């Protein structure tokens, strides 16, 4: 990933595949149109960032990829399904709105450029609504499924849908094998999509490990970490407990029974793992099983 800029605390990076596609487009004489595509991608991702900020989600980085972008959240509060649902829809809605704007409002551009912008934004909006990761529609699907089956299984299912879409695109490319250029483009797009879908299926596990490794490195560097100790009942939602996580503090939750006796102690790592396995509606009681 190559850093582009840092705006309002969010780092913007571009995947090397995007730069490779731009280089190929310039070589084929399509550099101007591809730059317009990059502008459309950037506006698509800015819509996600604006929606995230409005919802109180802290985004540390946004990576531009050939299929849109990957947002990296600061903590696990950004995994709340309602927030993820609206944040994920913001990008496709922005792209479809831009397509409608360039179609209906005179901009003074030449016809070819206006039609390209309409098609480009229409494609970005509709393609990203597919219910498959890494597309935004896959995040919408995950936000619907995660309360029922937990983030891990919902992510795996949405990523599997992405892999299935990728295989369908590859198969379609081979079907039109007589058109060499079209076949190569579709097969390449399918392979890239499959790669990103596999990466998405592992993202939560990596995010979880990165979060805890950061705390471990802080502990090793400082020799100690301040703890935040909470007293809870078994019926407290995990999402409420995780709102008290802090980058330089370690969360310890002491569970009391009805007689106010200590009935259990949970570390931050155990609570996050249970949160991802059981979903945001889970209570502390479900971590016992």
Q: Which positions are annotated as active-site residues?
A: 45
CA angle 97, 99, 102 (to 5 degrees): 110
Residues 6+ apart with CB under 8 A from 151: 79, 142, 204, 275, 276, 277, 279
With residue 287 as reference, give the H or E element that holds it: none
Mutual orientation of helices 136-175 and 268-278 as an angle, nearest 10°?
Answer: 60
Burial 27-57 (b: 16+ CB within 10 A, else e): eeeeeeebebbbebbbbbbbbbbebbeebeb
CA angle 194, 197, 199 (to 5 degrees): 110
Residue 124: how many other CB atoms lie within 10 Å: 25
């Amino acid at each position: 990933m190559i850093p582009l800029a840092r705006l309002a605390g969010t780092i913007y990076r571009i995947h090397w595949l995007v730069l490779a596609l731009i280089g190929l487009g310039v070589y084929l004489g399509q550099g101007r149109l591809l730059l317009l595509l990059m502008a459309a991608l950037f506006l698509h991702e800015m819509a996600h960032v604006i929606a995230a900020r409005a919802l109180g989600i802290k985004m540390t980085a946004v990576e531009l990829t050939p299929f849109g972008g990957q947002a990296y959240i600061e903590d696990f509060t950004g995994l709340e399904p309602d927030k993820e649902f609206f944040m994920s829809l913001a990008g496709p809605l922005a792209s479809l709105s831009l397509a409608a704007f360039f179609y209906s409002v005179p901009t003074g551009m030449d016809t070819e450029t206006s039609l390209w912008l309409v098609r480009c934004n229409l494609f970005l909006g509709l393609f990203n609504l597919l219910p498959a990761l890494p597309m935004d529609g896959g995040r919408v699907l995950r936000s619907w499924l995660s309360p029922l089956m937990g983030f891990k299984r919902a992510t795996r299912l949405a990523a599997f849908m992405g892999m299935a879409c990728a295989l369908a695109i590859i198969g379609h490319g081979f079907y039109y094998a007589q058109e060499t250029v079209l076949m190569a483009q579709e097969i390449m797009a399918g392979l890239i999509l499959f790669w990103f879908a596999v990466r998405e299926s592992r993202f939560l596990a990596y995010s979880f490990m990165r979060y805890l490794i950061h705390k471990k490195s802080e502990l090793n560097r400082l020799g100690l970490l301040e703890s935040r100790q909470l007293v809870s009942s078994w019926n407290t939602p995990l999402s409420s407990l995780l709102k008290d996580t802090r980058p330089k503090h370690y969360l310890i939750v002491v569970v009391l029974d009805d007689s106010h006796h200590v009935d259990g102690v949970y570390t931050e790592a155990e609570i996050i793992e249970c949160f991802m396995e059981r979903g945001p509606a889970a209570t502390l009681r479900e971590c016992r099983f």
